[in-house]
Structure 1
Amino acid sequence: MMFEVIANADLRTHNTFGISERAERLAFVDNDRQLLEALSLANRHAWPVTLLGGGSNLVLAAPVPGLVLAMRSRGRRVVSRSGQDVIVEAEAGENWHALVNWSLDLGLCGLENLSLIPGTAGAAPVQNIGAYGVELEDVFESVEVYDRRTAVICRLYREQCRFAYRDSLFKKEPGRYVILRLRLRLSSVPHPKLEYGPLANAWRATGLQRADARVVSELVCQIRRSKLPDPSQLANAGSFFKNPLVSAEQATQLQRSWPGLPTFVQSDGRYKLAAGWLIDQAGWKGYRDGDAGVHREQALVLVNYGGARGEEIMGLAARIQSDIQQRFGVMLEMEPLLIGRRELEAGSWKLEG
């Protein structure tokens, strides 16, 4: 079935920040054939292309020229079983949390700590999504992608994807790859990861002695709901800033000045700081400027109270960055991807959740 191209489409309902910007053209693609046809159409007309997943990791700061492609491919399946290992595959347009629940229904473990993360399966590798002590790369097997540079469909494995904290090959080479489907290596035997403080406390409170992935998932959902606003009730894109990584020396100096600062040592010897704690200490929690604000319960989340534009969200973010750098000597990096005038004029693609 041929895809439909919608002219002058409002993207407000296609991004969880609820930002109303227009796409010059919008098309929904359900399969590989439609995707390749849409890319061919864009190439013929020299339209810039923006890929759109669930819209949960995106800030729109300008009208979007060219063609916006909304990935709507569906499907999930067990590919193979070998001992405890089970390889599952999901199409790029699959809802991530629905995929997690499906894996739990099959008695599989590995995704429970990543429950309730918004977005699509295809966007998960771009950001190397992570939560509560687990990152996607921990369970990642491979992705099937369309390489726009070579015009071929190929498979990329974990080592090739260059995963790092909220980073990947797909961010380092934006626009080159279109993720078609994702494979994950899960387990039929529970191996719970409960080192993260609030999750460990919640698990101990259950009194359970035997590992149970479904219970861990439910606890993660409870913690997330207590900390993060539901985008359907208050528009947001989740955590707006990455937790900054600093040297051991800088972490020690900061802790001398700020004894309560949470720090987490990394495998490379650097320390991860809690960005939300820094923002909270600087007094930004609950701040509001028009319809752009900082959530009153979680300083790491910027929110749209109704009519905020992307420029207003970014302006607030910039003020927070400047203040944190001045107070702590740390530059916060935004986590959502920005589609703004500069990026669009450069003709770059944006891949998002």
Structure 2
Amino acid sequence: MNDIVKDGLANLGISLFYAKLVLGLLFSFMLTFFSIPTIVKISKRKNLMDEPGARSSHLRKIPNLGGIAIFYSLAVCASIFAFELFELYKFLFASLVILLYIGVMDDVVVMRAYKKLLAQIVVTSLMVLGSDVRVRSFFGLFGIYELSYTFSVIFSIFTFISLINAFNLIDGIDGLSGGYSIICSALFGISYFRLGEYNYPLVVLSAVIIGSVLGFLYYNLSDSRNNKVFMGDTGSMILGFLLAFTAICFIDIFIDKKLPGVPRYFLESAPAVTVAILILPIVDTLNVIFIRLFKKQSIFIADKNHIHHALLMLGLTHRRSSFYILVYYLFVVMAAYFLRHIDVNVLLLVILTLGFTGAYIPRIILYTKEKTH
């Protein structure tokens, strides 16, 4: 069937890959865009709303099941336009369904933390052990190259779970987590495209993620009270999981597997470049943990020590705060790209230094303003 479609498009002078790319982007956007108003209507009718709390930066109840629309769009479009991924990674779709379930449960009734963690361990274990999605090498980072199977499995599961929860933590203001997932997907997608047609299904997946999140952002950034929506834990966990998946696949590309007919490009700094692309959730989470430990508080309590909270305290709006954060961390990625051929350890140090600098700049400005007044 795929060959018939390919031949038909070839007769029209259209590449099958570009057709999948454009249609995947377009249909994922449309599915999210047209499904969210229905989800908002049901959420209001059933009072399935996000209540303002200790960590909240909003003052009124907002529907928080936008992640369902993102999942719906991803599940439909990825399985049609990037179906090769579901053949190669047998447990990918099952993992997304499990994350949908625990995400909706947490958004509706608030699950206990240990139950969410257990579910995340199951999901990530399916991917790491069942689909063999693993970090196999550090490329000389910390003097470590190829990892043993046991350490690779443990580290990969830890990486998945950390990024899922880190991405959840940056979902605190309008547009930030959605905008960042678009940037990360675009960067990974462009990289996959440049690295050859063997990676085209991952390019299409990146486009589908971008389309689905764009459809969500239209309502998330809306000033209207009627259709404004949050992605909730459902959306943030699914996006965090997919970004962790694409990040590990990105690192894996640079390992020479000697596949016939598949050219390989070795980039020693691949792990550091990956950290650069995902720098915001990594730095924001570590920064919050450091502050809580310094204050001798539990690292699991909700607070307002995130980067976006500092910008809001400076009087910026949600949109401006998201814009400044995204621009700064895009600058970090650009710096990593131009320095990608230096030693991987030096590059990682540069990236983390820039990352934490961006995290502390708003706090320093806030402290200076308070001292002057």
TM-score normalised according to structure 2 size? 0.27
Which is richer in helix? 2
Which is richer in strand? 1
TM-score normalised according to structure 1 size? 0.28
